[in-house]
Amino acid sequence: MTAVPKLQVLHERGQHEVFCGLTGIMWLHRKIQDAFFLIVGSRTCAHLMQSAAGVMIFAEPRFATAILEEKDLAGLSDANEELDKAAARLLARRPDIKLLFLVGSCPSEVIKLDLSRAALRLSAAHAPNVKVLSYSGSGIETTFTQGEDNCLAALVPELPAEEPGASRSLLVVGTLPDIVEDQLQRTFEALGIAATFFPPRRSRALPPVGPHTRVLLAQPYLAETARRLEERGAQRLKAPFPLGVEGTTQWFAAAASEFGVTHEKLAAVVTPLAERARIALEPSRQRLSGKRVFFFPDSQLEVPLARFLSRELGMHLVEVGTPFLHQELLSAELELLPGVSLSEGQDVERQLGRCRAAKPDLVVCGMGLCNPLEVEGFTTKWSIELVFSPVQGFEQAGDLAALFARPLARRALLQVNACS
Amino acid sequence: MQLSVWTYEGPPHVGAMRVVTAMRGVHYVLHAPQGDTYADLLFTMIERRRERPPVTYTTFQARDLGGDTAGLFKTAATEAYERFKPELLVVGASCTAELIQDDPGGLGKTLGLPVPVVPLELSAYQHKENWGAGETFYRLVRACVPPPASPPARAGPRRRCNVLGPTALGFRHRDDVKELEGLLARLQVTVNVMAPLGASPRDLARLGDADFNVVLYPEIAAPAATWLAKAFGQVNVTTVPIGVGATQDFIREVAALAEVDPSPLLGQGQSRLPWYSSSIDSTYLTGKRVFVFGDGTHALAAARVAVEELGFTLVGLGTYSREQARAVRSAAERYGVPALVTEDHLEVEELMTKLQPELVLGTQMERHIAKRLGVPCAVISAPVHVQDFPARYSPQVGFEGANVLFDTWVHPLMMGLEEHLLHMFRDDFEFQDSPSHLGAAPPAKAAPLPAAPLPAAPLPAKADSPHDLWSDEARSELQKIPFFVRGRARRNTEQFAKDRGLHHITLETLYDAKAHFQR
């Protein structure tokens, strides 16, 4: 393993203006189509889920909250009984569900409600139709995308072992929109690499894992999942993340090199895709080049995004804030991005102070901060959209750049002043 | 443990946030884990407020729990005071922080801040948003208003009032207060204090100077108003002026207190609703079956307007406000309809499906259910959505509010003349079976199908009638019925056949059923 150069990072510990890990359920429940996420929590958890959804989702979603009440706090045995009843009601209503996640929350963890034992109990009760697992999405344990990390980590022990004598295989890890996954899969096929994706769309289609498995992370926030996969013998490939042309090219190159794909073949497959993506970047590059951007911490995607904005779109990075900096997972990214001003954790008031002093051209921040900053005259990009939209891979590189260019384009268009 | 997908109300500390965000000079230090900061976006995104709510969160994490979370709270409160210099600090805990029992109220007192520190105990595992707002407002009033030794003696006309209840993130509160102020001014009544919206702690201190209180939203204002009435001998006007009739009642009540002549405000022409409702295009509104669900205040008001001012038939009335359950139940009894008091939107869906209304007046939740059922819907109450903060002036109270109600409730329905023309031309080969104002796709097909079995697509295809219930002739006749009543015609006919043990629906069955269900 290459040594990671020592970085200057500002560590902050104050008010964190970030979502908790429960929010990951928003995309996880769309991805694993026969899974249901039951939050064991409070009215606050339920309220967060419907507020973070922005507009309420039309169909009945595959998540719900079992809201703890006064009597559940009085005795844990009663709480367990109540939980069993809630799960039974839910599964009776949704016979299509094959995998049920019990998702721990701040209150369930503070009262030490043991959801892993509850999951075992419920698994036995509802076998073989439904498998029940648990993970924590609580705000005291997780920040936003760490919820997905915990969810996938809980699934790793369920993955079947490789067949004896299995040939080398590639496992792409991290939730991607189906359309992106299909595009990436086509490229792997063209390279002659057999790739499977995790999490799968159907909970019973779990990919095998073992010493012949090579893991390529599609998302930067999967530290615990990667660790557990490594415990099962898999080897993680060092690569930047598939954001932008450069990141995606190097991401494929890392797999190609491991699987013995020749440079000629890699170039033949990837170069036309990269050329097309560069054309798509151009309009946004013209708008963004030379502009200064400030990232508030949100999804842990900040470092790869900053690398993309800086190296491919010519933006200047004022500050790149991230909730956590996994230097090992990000080593390939950090090598591409030397000398940047990084901050980890948050003290939102102080960070706002730095942002106001620096007067960046574009601020990337969460929904709670955007409009007040717009009122102050800043142009902002809503960071959650970077998590919910298809942004990975060659075909989305132009869309990703456009997400950053649009707020500036809009501000240039409007001839009425909102800030007076 | 209550199984919930969507909730009508947030936790009680969100109610507290609505009160402090509405006020000036108040800051709220909330002991809460990381993640609870999501509540800021309710105010900055949904309501599009220009500033962040005046709330500091401690955002403790698991690693803090073994250590000094109380110290974390004290630091956060001290720094918040230094940074924001409020006139008053509110301190409290969200649901998780209640469990770790750090006692923010007690800690707040020890900080030695030069401003009042008001502790909130909101019992998050028992209570909800509106209760939290009501309790917070009550605590702030008690902290700011010095109670008199004895209620002051009052004589003569009472022409100074407080307006109590409007908050941040309230359903049309922004516009309601403007409409109400206009109404009061025309009755020669001055507003002493409006609170919480726009009031500072110093304003609250003057609440006792008023002669009476307008209890605009009882969910929030009732506890404070009850205490003020008792302490200061103030009268509480509890009629909520939503709809023409209720606005007139309100005017009479206030005019009697102020000793002014109400008649100029009671004559014709104050609102367009009475004339629009009498005009012939509105004939088609007669007897439309309406289902009403919302918070107590808006549901009660909507029921009255629907029945008395638009000539609809009320088929069901419900609320999620436990605090107003009794009032809603007794109103439902008066109207002779079932009352539903629940926080479970699945129960609401079940009743709506059973009652088969032609119009739903509900919350965003009922709007989604109505969309699935293919029934028109207008939103009358919180929980709020970004659409509930329209750019235009759009009050619910007063005479302009009545105009708004007429437009918002009637527009989702087929226009009278349009409905007539659809009947006339439905056989024309060029006729497009979809109304212009409901969008391109028929509503029943627009939403993804829900998991629970619900009355499905308007026309019975062979696939979903496994026993070939419908004869070809009856099916093709059903196709001729306008789409907006076809679903009901189909359900009624199938119910009619089922009740009579018929295994086959013929043309005759269809018309027998039509006659049976004819109003």
Note the pLDDT tens digit of each residue in B404-436: 999 999 988 865 556 555 555 555 555 454 444
- The per-residue DSSP string of A165-188 comes to TPPPEEEEES---HHHHHHHHHHH
C-beta atoms of B34 and A370 within 8 A:
no
List the 351-370 stretch of B: residues with Cβ below 8 A of A. 364-365, 368
Burial letters for A298-321: b for 16+ Cβ neighbours within 10 Å, e otherwise? Answer: bbbbbbbbbbbbbebbebebbbbb
3-state DSSP assignment of residue B164: strand
Minimal Cβ distance to A64: which of B3, B52, B128: B3
In Å, how far is B420's CA from the nearest CA of chain A?
32
**Which residues on chain B are in Cβ contact (under 8 Å) with A23?**
38
Q: Three-state DSSP class for B31?
A: strand
Per the CB < 8 Å rule, is A55 touching B58?
Answer: no
CB-based contact A58 B372, cutoff 8 Å: yes
Q: Name the residue facing B94 among A44, A89, A94 (closest C-beta).
A: A44
Does B67 lie at the interface with A, CB-CB under 8 angstroms? no
Min CA distance, B174 vs chain A (Å)?
19
**B76 interfacial to chain A (CB closer than 8 Å):** yes
**pLDDT of the residue at A279:** 96
The average pLDDT across B190-212 equals: 97
Q: Give how far A377 is from chain B: nearest CA, Å.
A: 11
Q: Which residues contact A158 (CB under 8 A, 6 or more apart)?
A: A131, A133, A206
Residue B456 confidence (pLDDT) above 80: no
* Beta carbons of A372 and B51 less than 8 Å apart: yes
Facing A47 at nearest CB: one of B10, B449, B451: B10
Residues of chain A with pLDDT under 50: 1-4, 55, 58
Contact B10 A83 (CB under 8 A): no
| Predicted pLDDT at A189 | 97
Please determine, for residue B133, whether its predicted confidence score (pLDDT) is greater than 70: yes
CB pairs A-B closer than 8 Å? 196
Q: Is the pLDDT of residue B487 over 80?
A: no
Residues of chain B contacting A140 with CB distance shorter than 8 Å = 33-34, 60-62, 64-65, 96
Three-state SS across A220-261?
CCCHHHHHHHHHCCCEECCCCCCCHHHHHHHHHHHHHHHCCC
Min Cα distance B125 → chain A (Å) is 5
> Which residue in the set A48, A72, A107 is minimally distant from B96, CB to CB?
A107
Q: Sort out which chain A residues have CB atoms less than 8 A from B449's CB and list them.
A: 59
* CATH T-level fold of A169-265: Rossmann fold (3.40.50)
By DSSP bridging, strand A362-365 and strand A380-382 are: parallel
Cis ω for the linkage preceding B383 (within 30 of 0): yes
In this prediction, residue B359 carries a pLDDT of: 95
B 110-139 → A contacts, CB under 8 A: 123-126, 128
- Give residue B488's pLDDT band: very low, low, confident or very high (50, 70, 90): confident
Every domain of chain A and the residues it spans: 21-142, 169-265, 280-419
Q: Is the dihedral of CA B42, B44, B45, B49 positive or negative?
A: positive
Give the pLDDT of residue B428. Answer: 54
- pLDDT in the model for residue B346: 86
| A371–B44 C-beta distance less than 8 A | yes
Q: A140 and B83 in contact by Cβ < 8 A?
A: no
Q: Express the helix, strand and coil content of chain A in percent, nearest 5 each.
A: 45, 15, 35
Does the domain at A21-142 match CATH 3.40.50.1980? Answer given as yes
Question: How many CA atoms are closer than 13 Å to the CA of B255, on its beta-carbon side?
Answer: 16
**Any bridge partners for residue A209, and if so which?**
A161
The answer to whether the Cβ–Cβ distance between A67 and B1 falls below 8 Å is yes
**What are the DSSP E strand ranges found in B71-216?**
88-93, 117-119, 160-164, 190-195, 212-215
Q: What angle do CA A314, A315, A319 make, to 5 degrees?
A: 145
pLDDT of residue B463: 42
Q: How far apart are CA B364 and CA A54, in angstroms?
A: 12
- Which residues have a Cβ under 8 Å from the Cβ of B461 and sit 6 or more positions away? none
CB contact under 8 A, A90 and B3: yes
Residue B247 one-letter amino acid: T
One fold for both A21-142 and A280-419? yes
The answer to whether the peptide bond before residue A297 is cis (omega within 30 degrees of 0) is no
- Spacing of C-alpha B143 from chain mean position: 29
DSSP-assigned beta bridge partners for residue B294: B319
CATH for A280-419, among 3.40.50.2300, 1.10.3470.10, 3.40.50.261, 3.40.50.1980? 3.40.50.1980
- How do beta strands A63-67 and B2-4 pair? antiparallel
Compute how many other C-beta atoms are within 10 angstroms of the C-beta atom of residue B326.
Answer: 12
pLDDT band for position B2 (cuts 50, 70, 90): confident
What is this structure's pTM?
A: 0.90
pLDDT 10s digits, B35-54: 999 999 999 999 999 999 99
- Cβ burial A4-21 (10 Å sphere, 16+ → b, else e): eeeeebeebebbbbbbbb
* Residue B292 CA from chain centroid, whole number: 11
What is the CA angle B304-B19-B319, rounded to 5? 30
Q: For residue A217, what pLDDT is reported?
A: 98
* Count of helices and strands (H, E) across chain A: 17, 14
Paired tokens of A245: 């042309």
**A368 to B38: CB separation less than 8 angstroms, yes or no:** yes
Best of A11, A13, A15, A71 to mutate (most B CBs within 10 Å, chain B)? A15
How far is residue A98's CA from residue B435's CA, in Å, rounded to a whole number? Answer: 41
pLDDT digits (tens, 9 = 90+) for B374-388: 899 999 999 988 889
According to the model, what pLDDT value does residue B492 have? 85
Residue B18 touches partner A, C-beta closer than 8 Å: no
- Biggest CA-to-CA distance, chain A: 70
Minimal C-alpha gap between A118 and chain B (Å): 15
Per-residue pLDDT of B273-324, as tens digits, reads 999 999 998 988 999 999 999 999 999 999 999 999 999 999 999 999 998 9
Q: Is the pLDDT of residue B441 over 70?
A: no
Q: What is the pLDDT of residue B424?
A: 56
**pLDDT bucket at B150, cuts 50 / 70 / 90:** confident
Question: What are the percentages of helix, strand and coil residues in chain B, rounded to 5?
Answer: 50, 15, 35
CB contact under 8 A, B52 and A42: no
Nearest alpha carbon to residue B41 among A49, A293, A300: A49
Say if the Cβ atoms of A58 and B371 lie within 8 Å: yes
Do the beta carbons of residue B32 and residue B59 sit within 8 Å?
yes
Interface test with chain A among B74, B95, B322, B345, by most A beta carbons within 10 Å: B95
Q: What is the mean pLDDT of chain B?
A: 89
Q: Cβ contacts (< 8 Å) between B36 and chain A: which residues?
A: 20, 44, 48, 139
Does the structure show a pLDDT above 60 at B21? yes
User: Which residues, 6+ apart, have CB-to-CB distance to A63 below 8 Å?
Assistant: A25, A29, A36, A37, A38, A39, A49, B5
Mutate to test the interface with B, among A140, A348, A367, A373 (most CBs of B within 10 A): A140
Return the CA Rg of chain A. Answer: 22
Q: Give the separation between CA B383 and CA B452, rounded to whole angstroms.
A: 23
Residues of B noted as catalytic = 281
A241: distance to nearest CA of chain B, Å?
26
Q: Are strands A63-67 and A9-13 parallel, antiparallel or unpaired?
A: unpaired
Q: Is B1 in contact with A68 (Cβ distance < 8 A)?
A: yes
For residues B503-519, b (16+ Cβ closer than 10 Å) or e, as one string?
eebeeebbebbeeeeee
Which of A20, A48, A94 is the closest to B451 by Cβ? A94
Q: Which of B430, B417, B414 is nearest to B482 (CA)?
A: B414
Q: Please give the radius of gyration of chain B, using alpha carbons only, rounded to the nearest integer.
A: 26
Gap between the Cα atoms of B107 and B117, Å rounded: 10
* Contacts with A417 (C-beta within 8 Å, 6 or more apart), sequence order: none
| Helices A43-52/B12-22 angle, 10° precision | 60
Strand ordering across the sheet containing A292-295:
A9-13, A342-346, A316-322, A292-295, A362-365, A380-382
